[in-house]
Structure 1
Amino acid sequence: MPNEAATRAQPQPAPQTGLAVRLAARAGALAGHTSSLAPGFVQGNLAILPAELAADFLRFCQRNPKPCPVLGIAEPGSPHLPELGADLDLRTDLPRYRVWSRGELVEEPADIRHLWRDDLVAFVIGCSFTFEHALIEDGIPLRHVEQGRNVAMWRTSIACAPAGPFAGPMVVSMRPFRPADAIRAVQVTSRFPGVHGAPVHLGHPHMIGIGDLSRPDYGDAVEVLADEIPVFWACGVTPQAVIAAAKPDFAITHAPGCMLVTDLRNSALAVL
């Protein structure tokens, strides 16, 4: 007879669809980043604000489409976005959230049902995990994926266009490539403007205010080898930096790397 405890300890296969990832997060079975989960399905960043700030935040996203490409906006008070996924609940379906009060991070819960209010408006913003899948399919290696790490991200000296109380620096994510792969990465990611599109900077991190590639503001550092250059994309963590700077009384975002996985296919966002 098989040992029941050993059977329970067996690692479970990674969820392969958006719905499977959401249900696993809802059940408390996911705690880490989602970059390697449900390949081929669109993932999104999350920002939740009181309705009185929603119009200004939408204008901010419209003025800064590279870091803030909007995939969906929920109705006030609704945690559902049926156009992004069946049985989708924004209160439970991400592995981890961040709760902000006057610009300070006050909580990182796995479930926000206890915090939900009728005046909250949720925004889902495009995520680089979509174009990462396209890069991998094109044969371009991604070191942080190979090492099981979250992508490295920094606040930069690139200013976003302001809207109402929302203003601040663009956040970028970085992937190191040999020059030939960097050129191909530009070509591949340019096909996905709805999830950040082409890079905003190549090489020379100091030119965008990054002093040390070994110390990212978010995510995990990866080595840049001598024959590689760092390539930087606008990042959907930008709203966190902007919300922290605006200091609203209350806001919720995803924890870096802990995305909403939708039912949309990456191919649906490709521009030929």
Structure 2
Amino acid sequence: MVLPEKVTIIEVGPRDGLQNEDNFVDTETKKEFIGKLELAGILEMEITSFVSPKWVPQMRDAVSIVTSRPKGIRSIALVPNRKGMEKLLETDCKNIAVFVGVSDSFNRKNINKSTRNSMEELIPMIAGLKAKGFFVRACISTAFYCPYEGKVSIVDTVKLCSEFAAVGVDELSVADTIGMATPVESFILFSELKKELPFVMIAAHFHDTRKMALANIYASLQAGIDRFDSSAGGIGGCPFAPGSSGNVATEDVVYMLERMGIETGIDLDKLVDAIDVIAPHLSREIDSGYYRLSKVKL
């Protein structure tokens, strides 16, 4: 068994975790949540999204969040299109995430464009950002399954990732958006991506809809992946993917990895403190195993 000695966790709770939350979480609470995550040892984090507040009202305070972001970590803001990018460029944030779905149906439901039309807009946009020294992360949705089209071809996923790599993205975040991937499928896809794109950072992004996220992470480790997206408290989901539950919980991932002797650099007690900040403001209870057990009095 070949496993990495160290893994990087990219925390997505403040962005992907909160975007589908019914209750609007006030800006100061979000800032405190982000600050506590940094204190826990998170070094890379998606903090907000420059998306239309009409479609994702939770993100209407994006400018304020970015302006007060932690400066000692890689704080990433997601943009869905050129309009979102223009808003981000009015700030001094130099870390950006873009996204596209492998399947046309998901992409149309999400941003009202085909996958090909999205790429035609994104490719010159990314080239311009790289020329200005930006860190660019490409989030690949429905890499395994689509809620509207079913199983997605591995050929299509690898081809889309290769297009992003060709234009110079720094990282690919490859997502099991509706939590249907199996460990075998994860191992096969990530092995292929590592073989085809050996010089691009690749992160695996799993949702825990069917409680297979940790198993998928274990399979991905064996495929050579050492970067994983996760969300403190397992919060999140996708407003455009029916049935998609929260992201895999950061605390459960860290606990598993550390028990396996894989370093994450994250303090679990301080991570629980961060979740304590956001938990009272959510519309549902935190149900991750580690967080639940941390509250049991022995």
Query: Above 0.5 in TM-score?
Result: no
TM-score normalised by the chain length of structure 2: 0.27
Q: Which structure has greater strand proportion?
A: 1
Relative CO higher for 1 or 2, CA cutoff 8 Å, sep ≥ 6? 1
